[in-house]
């Protein structure tokens, strides 16, 4: 009888334990299925050879192959596609150009987003929500349509030029569309909410009395901002910059629609390799390298963060 | 930095010295927040080396008053003076006063050393000098071992010390303390109160403390200002506030008290005779000038009353019979609520002198509450 009871509670405990484990593992399973598995496929393709076929590459091995076959394919295993990337200057130029464009546009987004987030965080509580809604509102329209709309604004006879002409600021319309400037505008515009939201979260929870304490100890308002508010918002700045920088590096739609022929970005290149040249192995290699460029610094950063936290204890 | 002798401490009453110049002076200060008046035409002088407490319930304007000294709040009318200088419109970062915040407001991204050095750095003090001063402050507050810790790695008491060290580092003319011990538990709070007093005496800095805890104000302060609805009700030493409250509000706010309402019968110079509606006669020594037939309140602290089984008074006054309604045993003393036959509850406390008592007074027992002629006071408002 008592054994029964013990068993029952034991069962309950086990079940709860299982559910607990499952909730922890769920995100991992998700990542495994939708991130790691596709990545492994891409990774595998990047080592294969291009052929005119369906799909357009020769697999390096098949799961159905025997052990000897597998061994054979491993011996044929080559970094040819990666070596190709280093031989053609187009690729590393595209990587560098992408990083440069992403870096500049992240800096610009921070420059515009910080005052915006600060203003929202300091505004009266009752209108804060409305202001935040306005920041998020553009997401309710398709990204593609919003970028298309910028063509209408930036083109020679577009809204922006008409405005400048009508107020007499310029005599001849400016060439903005299909330049890097248009790409910057597009990226800053599209990713601004990703910068504003984490910054707002970091600024909003800051204790006002810290600023009073700084003033009390001899700081002007401006100095108090730079010594207290700004350093305390680092987590928001870092999160916002990552959220803008990472997708901006691989951005395809914005340089494709707003950029010119000389706008060199890795996303555009990837598209060309994949769909125009149908060179899946090389484009896979391009994607793998891109991932490494992005993931390695982040991992390094996270490790140094963790070490700093450990050291503080 | 020497401790004043007992004689010196006894003498320290600059507020009674007409030649003494106040360090902090409020001149007819009013502060309005919209239609709400937080401080109402208030004048007040605080002297050098004084430990001054602003006491009152929340919303009485005491914090607003303190923030005017710090510079976070400008008066709507009137002036604030500090050491002979009008500082009414001076920004906070130029004022030679420092504040210890209720939440401590330690900078979370700096360690304790950096927190303490923060104010000194703003003064462009030499690095070696800053290091010396920080070391001094750490020793003063016994925080040497925690210099490299970040605020969130400290306990509440340690944070309080760090905040104190930071606010003292610039050697302010006045140190403002906003509910400094509110977040500490009782034992630690009592300890810290004595440390604060000690520190204040050694440094000779004027301390101004805001608190709603009357015990805290009584412990630390030379003078207490009791505030209500933006007005000063009474300024006096802790003893005077307790034993000679100016009116019923102060008497009730500071400590426990019993009020007996009555009509003044005879007003001999020294002795006032009061009769209550239900015929109780109260005799009280009082110098207050009171008219015959004036409505007055006899006020007596619970510890000044005696509870006994027999009526110890012969004359027929200053004693009332009743029933034990409630007893609270507090260890060091017992607190009795006696319900008189007229239906009034009187609070009486008695020290528990002996560890064992054969027949302690118990619930529903018939007892007498009695008092002497100078147990209480007569209040008119």
Instruction: Tell me whether A313 touches chain B (CB under 8 Å).
Output: yes
CA of A289 vs chain B CAs: smallest distance (Å): 37
pLDDT reported for residue B1: 45
Instruction: Tell me whether A204 touches chain B (CB under 8 Å).
Output: no
Q: By the 8 A CB rule, do A78 and A47 touch?
A: yes
Residue in A210, A219, A232 closest to B105 by CB:
A210
CA of B106 vs chain A CAs: smallest distance (Å): 7
Structural domain contains residue A248 = yes
Taking an 8 Å cut-off on Cβ atoms, the answer to whether A219 and B103 are in contact is no
Structural domain contains residue B114 = no
- CA-based nearest residue in chain A for residue B154: A313
Q: By the 8 A CB rule, do B189 and B177 touch?
A: no
- CA-based nearest residue in chain A for residue B123: A218
Euclidean distance between CA atoms A200 and A209, whole angstroms: 18
Q: Which chain B residues are within 8 Å of A223, Cβ to Cβ? A: 122
Best of B92, B121, B147 to substitute, by most chain A Cβ atoms within 10 angstroms, is: B92
Structural domain contains residue A68 = no
Best of B106, B116, B122 to substitute, by most chain A Cβ atoms within 10 angstroms, is: B122
Structural domain contains residue B84 = yes
Residue ranges of chain A whose pLDDT lies below 70: 1-12, 61-66, 70, 73-77, 311-313
pLDDT reported for residue A116: 96
| Cβ burial B107-137 (10 Å sphere, 16+ → b, else e) | beebbbbbbbbbbbebeebeeeebeebbeeb
Taking an 8 Å cut-off on Cβ atoms, the answer to whether B103 and A312 are in contact is no
* CATH code of the domain in which B186 resides: 3.40.50.300
Residue in B106, B109, B122 closest to A218 by CB:
B122
Q: How far is CA B259 from the centre of its chain?
A: 21
Q: By the 8 A CB rule, do A154 and A160 touch?
A: yes
Residue ranges of chain B whose pLDDT lies below 50: 1
Q: Which chain B residues are within 8 Å of A220, Cβ to Cβ? A: 91, 93
CA of A214 vs chain B CAs: smallest distance (Å): 8
Strand-pairing partners, residue B225, are B54, B235
Taking an 8 Å cut-off on Cβ atoms, the answer to whether B101 and A217 are in contact is no
Structural domain contains residue A202 = yes
Structural domain contains residue B102 = no
pLDDT reported for residue A207: 92
Q: Does residue B178 share a domain with residue B70?
A: yes
pLDDT reported for residue A64: 65
Cis peptide before A55 (omega within 30 of 0): yes
Instruction: Tell me whether B93 touches chain A (CB under 8 Å).
Output: yes
Q: Which chain B residues are within 8 Å of A219, Cβ to Cβ? A: 93, 122
Euclidean distance between CA atoms B99 and B121, whole angstroms: 17
Residue in A210, A218, A223 closest to B123 by CB:
A218
Structural domain contains residue B86 = yes
Burial of residue B88 (CB within 10 Å: 0-12, 13-18, 19+) is: middle
Taking an 8 Å cut-off on Cβ atoms, the answer to whether A217 and B122 are in contact is yes
Q: Does residue B245 share a domain with residue B206?
A: yes
Taking an 8 Å cut-off on Cβ atoms, the answer to whether B70 and A232 are in contact is no
Q: Does residue B343 share a domain with residue B291?
A: yes
pLDDT reported for residue B128: 94
* Number of domain units in chain A: 1
Cα Rg, chain B, nearest whole Å: 25
pLDDT reported for residue B265: 83
Range of the domain at A164: 89-312
Structural domain contains residue B31 = yes
Instruction: Tell me whether A210 touches chain B (CB under 8 Å).
Output: yes
SS3 state of residue B151: helix
Place of tokens 């298309």: A148
Euclidean distance between CA atoms B322 and B345, whole angstroms: 9
Q: Does residue B227 share a domain with residue B272?
A: no
Best of B68, B73, B100, B105 to substitute, by most chain A Cβ atoms within 10 angstroms, is: B105
- CA-based nearest residue in chain A for residue B106: A210
Range of the domain at B195: 6-96+172-250
Q: Does residue B269 share a domain with residue B345?
A: yes
CA of A301 vs chain B CAs: smallest distance (Å): 19
Structural domain contains residue A84 = no
Euclidean distance between CA atoms A127 and A134, whole angstroms: 11
Euclidean distance between CA atoms A304 and A279, whole angstroms: 38
pLDDT reported for residue A16: 76
| Complex confidence, ipTM | 0.83
Nearest Cα to A251, choosing from A301, A290, A285, A199? Answer: A290
Q: Does residue B354 share a domain with residue B217?
A: no
Q: Which chain B residues are within 8 Å of A215, Cβ to Cβ? A: 71-72, 91-93
Place of tokens 């939440």: B103
Q: What is the pLDDT of residues B144-195, one digit of tens each?
A: 999 999 999 999 999 999 999 999 999 999 999 999 888 788 888 888 999 9
- List, as ranges, residues 224-243 from B with C-beta within 8 Å of A: none
Instruction: Tell me whether A215 touches chain B (CB under 8 Å).
Output: yes
Q: Does residue B363 share a domain with residue B276?
A: yes
Interface A:B, Cβ pairs < 8 A: 60
Q: Which chain A residues are within 8 Å of B166, Cβ to Cβ? A: 217
* CATH code of the domain in which A152 resides: 1.10.3720.10
- Identify the domain boundary among B199, B223, B250: B250
Q: Does residue B199 share a domain with residue B73?
A: yes
- Identify the domain boundary among B197, B230, B250: B250
- The total of other beta-carbon atoms located within 10 Å of residue A247's CB is 17
Burial of residue B97 (CB within 10 Å: 0-12, 13-18, 19+) is: buried
Q: Which pair of tokens denotes residue B50?
A: 């004084």
- The total of other beta-carbon atoms located within 10 Å of residue A284's CB is 23
* CATH code of the domain in which B366 resides: 2.40.50.140
Please write down the long-range contacts of A135-141, taking CB distance under 8 Å and 24 or more positions apart: A135/A192, A135/A193, A135/A196, A135/A197, A136/A193, A136/A197, A138/A193, A139/A193
- The total of other beta-carbon atoms located within 10 Å of residue A172's CB is 8
Taking an 8 Å cut-off on Cβ atoms, the answer to whether A217 and B166 are in contact is yes
Residues in chain B: 381
- Identify the domain boundary among B215, B250, B285: B250
Instruction: Tell me whether B103 touches chain A (CB under 8 Å).
Output: yes
Nearest Cα to A273, choosing from A91, A93, A99? Answer: A91
Euclidean distance between CA atoms A276 and B52, whole angstroms: 83
* CA torsion angle A208 A211 A217 A220 (round to 10): -140
Q: By the 8 A CB rule, do B320 and B280 touch?
A: yes
pLDDT reported for residue A74: 67
Give the CA angle between residues B73, B74, B77 to the nearest 5°: 140
Q: What is the pLDDT of residues A199-222, one digit of tens each?
A: 999 999 999 999 999 999 999 999
* Number of domain units in chain B: 2
Q: Does residue B190 share a domain with residue B86?
A: yes
Question: What is the dihedral sign for C-alpha A295, A298, A304, A309?
Answer: negative
- CA-based nearest residue in chain A for residue B116: A217
Taking an 8 Å cut-off on Cβ atoms, the answer to whether B118 and A217 are in contact is yes
Residues 6 or more apart in contact with residue A233 via CB below 8 angstroms: A199, A202, A203, A206
pLDDT reported for residue A1: 44
Residues in chain A: 313
Instruction: Tell me whether B152 touches chain A (CB under 8 Å).
Output: no
pTM of the model: 0.81
CA of A123 vs chain B CAs: smallest distance (Å): 19
Structural domain contains residue A147 = yes
């Amino acid at each position: 009888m008592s054994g029964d009871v013990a068993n029952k509670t034991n069962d309950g405990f086990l079940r709860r334990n299982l559910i607990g484990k499952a909730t922890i593992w769920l995100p991992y399973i998700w990542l495994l299925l939708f991130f790691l598995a596709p990545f492994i496929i891409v990774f595998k393709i990047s080592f294969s050879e291009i052929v005119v076929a369906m799909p357009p590459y020769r697999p390096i091995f098949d799961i159905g192959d025997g052990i000897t076959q597998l061994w054979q394919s491993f011996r044929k295993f080559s970094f040819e596609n990666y070596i190709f990337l280093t031989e053609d200057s187009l690729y590393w130029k595209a990587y560098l150009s992408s990083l440069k464009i992403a870096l500049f546009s992240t800096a610009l987004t921070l420059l515009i987003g910080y005052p915006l987030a600060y203003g929202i965080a300091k505004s009266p509580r009752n209108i804060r929500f409305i202001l935040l809604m306005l920041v998020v509102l553009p997401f309710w329209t398709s990204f593609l349509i919003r970028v298309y709309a910028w063509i209408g604004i930036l083109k020679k006879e577009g809204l922006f030029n008409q405005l400048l002409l009508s107020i007499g600021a310029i005599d001849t319309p400016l060439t903005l569309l299909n330049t890097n400037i248009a790409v910057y505008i597009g990226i800053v515009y599209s990713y601004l909410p990703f910068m504003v939201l984490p910054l707002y979260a970091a600024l909003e929870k800051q204790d006002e009395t810290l600023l009073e304490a700084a003033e009390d100890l001899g700081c002007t308002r401006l100095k108090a901002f730079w010594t207290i508010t700004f350093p305390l918002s680092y987590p928001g700045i870092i999160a916002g910059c990552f959220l803008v920088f990472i997708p901006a590096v691989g951005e395809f739609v914005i340089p494709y629609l707003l950029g010119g022929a000389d706008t060199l970005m890795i996303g555009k290149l990837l598209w060309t390799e994949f769909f125009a040249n149908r060179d899946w192995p090389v484009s896979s290699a391009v994607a793998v390298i891109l991932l490494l460029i992005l993931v390695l610094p982040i991992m390094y950063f996270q490790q140094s963060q963790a070490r700093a936290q450990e050291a503080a204890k | 930095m020497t401790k004043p002798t007992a004689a010196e401490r006894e003498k320290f009453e600059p507020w009674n010295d007409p030649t003494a110049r106040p360090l902090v002076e409020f001149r007819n200060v009013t502060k309005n927040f919209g239609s709400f008046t937080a401080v109402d035409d208030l004048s007040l002088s605080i002297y050098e080396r004084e430990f001054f407490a602003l006491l009152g319930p929340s919303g009485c304007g005491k914090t607003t008053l303190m923030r005017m000294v710090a510079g976070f709040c400008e008066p709507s009318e009137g002036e604030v003076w500090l050491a002979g200088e009008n500082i009414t419109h001076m920004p906070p970062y130029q004022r030679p006063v420092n504040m210890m915040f209720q939440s401590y407001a330690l900078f979370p991204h700096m360690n304790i050393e950096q927190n303490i050095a923060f104010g000194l750095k703003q003064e462009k003090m030499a690095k070696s000098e800053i290091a010396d001063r920080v070391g001094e402050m750490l020793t003063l507050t016994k925080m040497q071992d925690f210099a490299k810790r970040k605020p969130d790695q400290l306990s509440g008491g340690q944070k309080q010390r760090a905040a104190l060290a930071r606010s003292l580092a610039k050697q302010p003319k006045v140190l403002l303390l906003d509910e400094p011990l509110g977040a500490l538990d009782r034992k630690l709070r009592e300890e810290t109160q004595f440390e604060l007093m000690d520190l204040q005496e050694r440094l000779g800095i004027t301390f101004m403390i805001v608190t709603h805890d009357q015990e805290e104000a009584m412990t630390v302060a030379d003078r207490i200002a009791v505030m209500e609805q933006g007005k000063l009700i009474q300024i006096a030493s802790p003893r005077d506030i307790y034993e000679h409250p100016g009116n019923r509000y102060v008497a009730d706010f500071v400590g426990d008290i019993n009020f007996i309402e009555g009509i003044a019968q005879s007003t001999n110079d020294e002795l006032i005779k009061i009769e209550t509606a239900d015929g109780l006669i109260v005799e009280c020594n009082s110098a207050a000038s009171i008219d015959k037939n004036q409505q007055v309140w006899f006020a007596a602290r619970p510890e000044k009353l005696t509870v006994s089984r027999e009526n110890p008074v012969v004359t027929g006054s200053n004693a009332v019979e009743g029933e034990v309604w409630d007893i609270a045993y507090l260890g060091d003393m017992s607190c009795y609520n006696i319900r008189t036959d007229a239906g009034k509850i009187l609070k009486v406390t008695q020290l528990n002198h002996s560890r064992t008592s054969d027949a302690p007074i118990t619930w529903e027992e018939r007892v007498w509450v009695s008092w002497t002629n100078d147990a209480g006071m007569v209040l008119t408002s």
